[in-house]
Amino acid sequence: MERPHWPYPSKLVISLLLLALMIYLLRAFSIVIPPLIIAIIIAFILSPIAKGIERLLHLPRILAILLSYILGILVVGVFPSIIIPWLISEFSNLNLDLQRILITIEDALGKQIQIAGLSLDTSVLMDQLVAGLQRLVEPIVGQTLNLVVSVISSIVWLIFILVVSFYLIKDAPLLSQWVHKHIPPAYLKDYEWLSTEINQIWSAFFRGQLMLALVVALIFTALGYALGLPFALAMGILAGLLEFLPSIGHGIWLTIAALLAYFIGSTWLMIPNWVFMLIIIGIHLFFEQFDINYLIPRIIGSRLHLPPLVIILGIMSGAILAGVLGIPLAAPSIASARVIGGYIYANLFDLEWPPVSTSQRLPPPNPRWWKRPRVEETKE
């Protein structure tokens, strides 16, 4: 006798109950979500490294994973030990530069401005600004106990992140097999297509973004030293880090660099500060176009190609919904939502799926982006 199937109303009610339970669990355990996301990101980045070590050295999987963690820790630990001494030398004259900046600002704000016949005393604004900064700093003093608790909590969460990411890498094949077994056969191809597209989006973002950040940091550091930008090394590293904030990162770096150029000037170019600021702005605007039209398509690919307005709104929404973690993850999340939304839209209106032009519209990133493609000559 054939097993009876659940009627459609029963399926709908149970699905809604499961959805409500999932929402409740997300709210109840919301404190675990950010560390879990970080663990997934670490596993996503270290998984190919562990696979490469396992395949290259013919080691057991667990040992290969441990070596990938050791390699990652060495990179994270050695990089600051090399960079920090340079940064110390960069900021050795920080007090003098701050004094010069404060004197310049005080001179500018100490003047009276005439606007439509009205006299505006900007020295009052300076006094209010100083008082506001003092009120902002005072609550921070004397928070030693809270700091100790925060450090202990951070250590616990760090251990949680490392353990979860380790088991995610270790059991990734088993998890993939488990998911495949529970996908209805009729939708297995759809699942494979969606998972491949989304995996390529996040791979292009994380691995490509790391390479892009390194390239941008080197370019800006070289340009900074060549032009005499104050704190050239620190500004180069900042430019690389801000590449994780598409569109907004360029604006943040340009604002800081323009202020340094105007208030401090070049360290060796004998030109007025305002001229140096215009040079910095012009070079940065040129580099922004070079970054968008050349570096990003060749390093990351076109899978994250989103309009700047969409990215900015996504970053703002990510900051509101997920805090600091939602800011750098906004772009790949929107790109993934675009793929899922396209799938839902195609099924709602019975359109062709997957789209034929998808592979043409979203080419994979070029791993050897620095080399020009070889053009084969054809003989007539």
How confident is the model over 297-326, as pLDDT tens digits?
Answer: 777 665 666 777 777 788 788 878 777 778
| Rg for the chain, CA atoms, rounded | 27
Q: Range with the lowest mean pLDDT among 9-18, 113-122, 327-336? A: 113-122
For residue 345, give every residue at least 6 positions away whose Cβ sits within 8 Å of its Cβ, in sequence order, or none: 351
Is residue 140 scored above 60 in pLDDT?
A: no
Q: How far is CA 299 from the centre of its chain?
A: 15
pLDDT at position 377, please? Answer: 43
Q: Which domain holds residue 313?
A: 185-371
286 — pLDDT class (breaks 50, 70, 90): very high
Is residue 89 scored above 70 in pLDDT?
A: no
CA distance 292 to 286: 10
Q: Is residue 94 part of a domain?
A: no
Q: Is residue 80 part of a domain?
A: no
pLDDT at position 21, please? Answer: 92
Count of domains observed in the chain: 1
Ramachandran class of 262: left when φ > 0, alpha when ψ lies in -120 to 50, beta otherwise: alpha
Stretch 136-147: mean pLDDT:
54
Half-sphere exposure of 213 (CA within 13 A, CB side): 18
Cis peptide before 354 (omega within 30 of 0): yes
Single-letter residue type at 39: A
Q: Is residue 162 part of a domain?
A: no
Highest mean pLDDT among 73-82, 112-121, 258-267: 258-267
143 — pLDDT class (breaks 50, 70, 90): low
pLDDT at position 361, please? Answer: 46
**Closest CA relative to residue 364, chosen from 298, 306, 307:** 298
pLDDT at position 277, please? Answer: 92
Share of the chain above pLDDT 90, in %: 11
Q: Is residue 33 part of a domain?
A: no
Stretch 218-236: mean pLDDT:
90
Q: Is residue 120 part of a domain?
A: no
362 — pLDDT class (breaks 50, 70, 90): very low
Q: Is residue 334 part of a domain?
A: yes
- How buried is 310 (Cβ within 10 angstroms: 0-12 exposed, 13-18 middle, 19+ buried)? middle
Q: Range with the lowest mean pLDDT among 46-60, 246-260, 337-351, 360-374? A: 360-374
Q: Is residue 111 part of a domain?
A: no
Is residue 332 scored above 60 in pLDDT?
A: yes
278 — pLDDT class (breaks 50, 70, 90): very high
Q: What is the pTM of this model?
A: 0.67
CA distance 33 to 322: 9
Is residue 116 scored above 60 in pLDDT?
A: no
Q: Is residue 11 part of a domain?
A: no
Highest mean pLDDT among 2-6, 77-81, 178-182, 352-356: 178-182
Half-sphere exposure of 292 (CA within 13 A, CB side): 16
